[in-house]
Amino acid sequence: MKKTFNYYLAIFIIILLLASTLLLEENIGSRIVTIITVGTALIGAVALFIQYKRDKNISQATFILEYAKYFYSLNGVEDTMSKLDKYRLGNKDIVKNLNDNGVINYLFWCEELSTLFQEGIIDFKTIDNLFSYNFFLITNNKYIQETELVPQAEFYKGIYYLHQEWTKYKKQTNQSVINPDESLDKVEIYSTYAKKGDNYYKKTY
């Protein structure tokens, strides 16, 4: 890879700082645990990068499988995914019981996924079958859009960009996307933030 590990580490430290700022702005007392869990999640991602960089024999497929395990190990993510799936199937009230930690860990995993894509570490042919459902389940959700992705869009530029590019890939390969009626691209700010997500970290940092 062209980029050094220090560059990746800087990226994730910056994301952590952004996450902390977001959480502290809302309520420093009730969100301190969430800050810690986000930090732990990002440390886990950095650990995966270290392994990938040090062992040249690790295949992309192995890295992707490890990243999948990392997703399900994040605090509250499995419960969040289960509730979002029930929402998709018609139980709209269940999102009222979503855990903040799970939602934020889930979204920051998606943001990390966008960084991996923009850095050329992964591509859609490799991740589509494994991660497509996870990604679109939370991004194509009106409740998540109204509570996180729209009001906090500045923190999720990578998600907007990845959604845009992944949707294009789905159309090119004649695949459908789950929950299209609540697709993220229906929000008014979509085009603005999808453009900002293009190589956002490279341009900003």
Model pLDDT, residue 3: 45
Dihedral class, residue 91 (left if φ above 0, else alpha if ψ from -120 to 50, else beta): beta
Model pLDDT, residue 30: 46
User: How many Cα neighbours within 13 Å face the side chain of 42?
Assistant: 24
pLDDT digits (tens, 9 = 90+) for 87-120: 999 999 999 899 999 999 999 999 999 998 998 8
Section 178-201 average pLDDT: 84
Domain boundaries, the chain: 60-204
pLDDT digits (tens, 9 = 90+) for 7-59: 444 444 444 444 544 444 444 444 455 555 555 555 555 555 555 555 544 56
Q: What is the largest CA-CA distance in the chain?
A: 47
H or E stretch covering 106: helix 100-118
Q: Please give the structure tokens belonging to residue 181.
A: 């009626």
Section 175-190 average pLDDT: 97
Asked if 158 and 197 touch (Cβ cutoff 8 Å), the reply is: yes
